Structure 1
């Protein structure tokens, strides 16, 4: 996004103009989320695939791809440690904030078979990441890093995950639904019907891609404009990065969640959260580690080992909690609303801990550690210009 509209562009604008930009961006964000969710829902219906699978693959890929691009570019430019903070912070926010909020608002459905499988992949990938990080630190100390071989392993696992996810969707129930659809279609023009179905699938994919692009771009515009308004009114950089940016960079997933709830596509919300968590490990960290080794220790941070002491434990705590909730929900077929509150509380505790372990950017010249200890969700923005200094 910075290549199209650099953050400096916002610094030249009057607060009133920035407010208009923010309002337009918010409207575009809502419309983009509508297109994305509608396209995903129609695609699931057209292909006979459960919505949770579409959410865990196509939708989550659309909202995670921009973050992956930012992390890979940061690795190439020498800010490789950003990828770890991005990925782990995203998992914490997606599961703790996004799912926690959605779960607290409405009773979410739980597909026992699919969630059990996808949930174990979600939890297993996070445990694998944590194990590799702690093992690397135990062996190499302050020089600990995730090398290119780890990145290659994650990308291979990513390919397997995508393939297996689609195979899981071909359950007996889905096959039966397809058979019934084929029987109902008998007597009509098969060629014309197939052509129309293909056109519908293409249309749905175009809606998903276009909607995801609008969501990502409008999120960037909204975050930057609001951050600049706050800066011009004298709000400290550390406060901007810890509040506006830390919350704002969750907007793509948050808007998809809100739109899914508003339109009754609850499975998309659940699938998007689970899929995004998996992709943040296997896709974001995998691709970034292939681009450049990812350091685990940040010597410039207030607490150099903050990633090991705060970020990873918070991620594992939230995902273990979510894993327990999946087990309980599998028995009833739904996530109870009370399950959202401990997830939200854990996310809030993590956010407070992140602020407490972050140095003032005016003292050290940067607002966040390379592992994202202040702003763990820097998808498309530079919180307080931290990565340019």
Structure 2
């Protein structure tokens, strides 16, 4: 990969991370002044912070006419979040799984995956399909909004009458400017990132779908990983799994639905995506279900998840290049790796009870 392409990707990722943080901070400040929006660490703002990079990048790819790139980024992002981000987070610190994830997030995750898979069976996602996905996303956001913490009235009015008035004036002046600058950085970063991934794909001989499944999905997962690592360094081991699950749900419903809605023609679903990527998404989700039921994610399971993600990337690389080792790798995964992984997860679940 040439230095120019690398700098293009690095600049795009940097702008996206900076714009994402600035946009979230501006919404938190304006929301607190309105008296009914969310504080900076609420569930709604965290969900926005974790999903905005992939959403903006996918929409940018659609507007540039790269539908397969947008589709690949959503499908690949789901796999990267559940295997690479979750596994990498567990390597940094063993994760604790709150029981509430089993009641809300996991059923919602399976429902989102099932809905996306059923709608994609005819090979396209049209306007009606997009509307159903967006309605599902709205229903999930409202469900999360009900559980979001509210800012106490006393906290909103803290600082005295004169201090509160001065603070409100500063907020109404700086808040919109900060929000506008954050959105500008996000859009500029997405533009750089999409162009950089396209250039890298041409150098590596990858299709738009494969570059979206791999390179673009990994890059847009980095902001989520950074947010989770920051929380783990503060000792918050019980929030990482929820952030990842929420990001997957909103990406499958909201991002994919918006991409299909904005596409000039029905969003085409590659047969390879239905035969390879959707089954991998299902297996990754089932593995996460077993882990979450155990209530914890130790480091050795995080390493196992990362190993499976590496095998998935290797499979795609062999598939793209037509190497004869592809069939052998498939046999190893289906006859040995997956059964042994299922056994390891079952033992982990049994020992946790």
Bucket of the pairwise TM-score, normalised by the shorter protein? 0.5 to 0.7
Is 1:90–2:77 an aligned residue pair?
A: yes
Tell me the C-alpha RMSD between the 2 structures: 4.6
Classify 1:353/1:110 alpha carbon distance in 2 versus 1 (closer, same or farther; 3 Å): same
Separation (CA, whole Å) in 2 of partners of 1:204 and 1:111: 34
TM-aligned CA deviation for residue 214 of structure 1: 3.7
TM-aligned CA deviation for residue 81 of structure 1: 5.3
Aligned to 1:342: 304
Aligned to 1:101: 88
Aligned to 2:293: 327
Is 1:280–2:251 an aligned residue pair?
A: yes
Classify 1:106/1:219 alpha carbon distance in 2 versus 1 (closer, same or farther; 3 Å): farther
Aligned to 2:126: 147
Classify 1:316/1:22 alpha carbon distance in 2 versus 1 (closer, same or farther; 3 Å): closer
Aligned to 1:237: 205
| Conserved? CA contact 2:5–2:200, under 8 Å | yes
- Paired residues for 1:41-52 under 5 Å: 47-48=38-39, 51-52=42-43
Separation (CA, whole Å) in 1 of partners of 2:56 and 2:71: 15
Aligned to 1:367: none
Stretches of structure 1 lacking an aligned partner (at least 5 in a row): 1-10, 137-143, 299-304, 361-389
- Paired residues for 1:67-146 under 5 Å: 67-70=57-60, 72-73=62-63, 77=65, 83-113=70-100, 116-134=103-121, 136=122, 144-146=123-125
Is 1:54–2:80 an aligned residue pair?
A: no
Corresponding pairs, count: 313
Separation (CA, whole Å) in 2 of partners of 1:271 and 1:219: 25
Query: Could you say what secondary structure the match of 2:320 adopts?
Result: coil
Separation (CA, whole Å) in 2 of partners of 1:277 and 1:197: 36
| Conserved? CA contact 1:55–1:275, under 8 Å | no
What's the CA shift string for 1:211-261, capped at 9, x where partnerless? 575466447647866986897xxx642499968993355323313422541
Separation (CA, whole Å) in 2 of partners of 1:242 and 1:283: 22
| Conserved? CA contact 1:33–1:256, under 8 Å | no
Separation (CA, whole Å) in 1 of partners of 2:118 and 2:207: 33
Match of 1:295 among 254, 265, 268: 268
Separation (CA, whole Å) in 2 of partners of 1:311 and 1:293: 20
Separation (CA, whole Å) in 2 of partners of 1:96 and 1:40: 30
Match of 2:139 among 160, 165, 168: 160
Structure 2 length normalisation: TM-score?
Answer: 0.66
Separation (CA, whole Å) in 2 of partners of 1:195 and 1:341: 51
TM-aligned CA deviation for residue 92 of structure 1: 0.9
Aligned to 1:354: 316
Structure 1 length normalisation: TM-score?
Answer: 0.61
Query: Could you say what secondary structure the match of 1:350 adopts?
Result: helix
TM-aligned CA deviation for residue 17 of structure 1: 6.2
Aligned to 2:56: 66
Answer 1 or 2: which has greater helix percent: 2
Classify 1:102/1:203 alpha carbon distance in 2 versus 1 (closer, same or farther; 3 Å): farther
Separation (CA, whole Å) in 1 of partners of 2:243 and 2:53: 9
| Conserved? CA contact 1:39–1:208, under 8 Å | yes
| Conserved? CA contact 1:21–1:222, under 8 Å | yes
What's the CA shift string for 1:44-75, capped at 9, x where partnerless? 9994575444322x21342233134135436x
Classify 1:245/1:313 alpha carbon distance in 2 versus 1 (closer, same or farther; 3 Å): closer
Separation (CA, whole Å) in 2 of partners of 1:81 and 1:229: 15
Stretches of structure 2 lacking an aligned partner (at least 5 in a row): 323-353
TM-aligned CA deviation for residue 312 of structure 1: 0.6
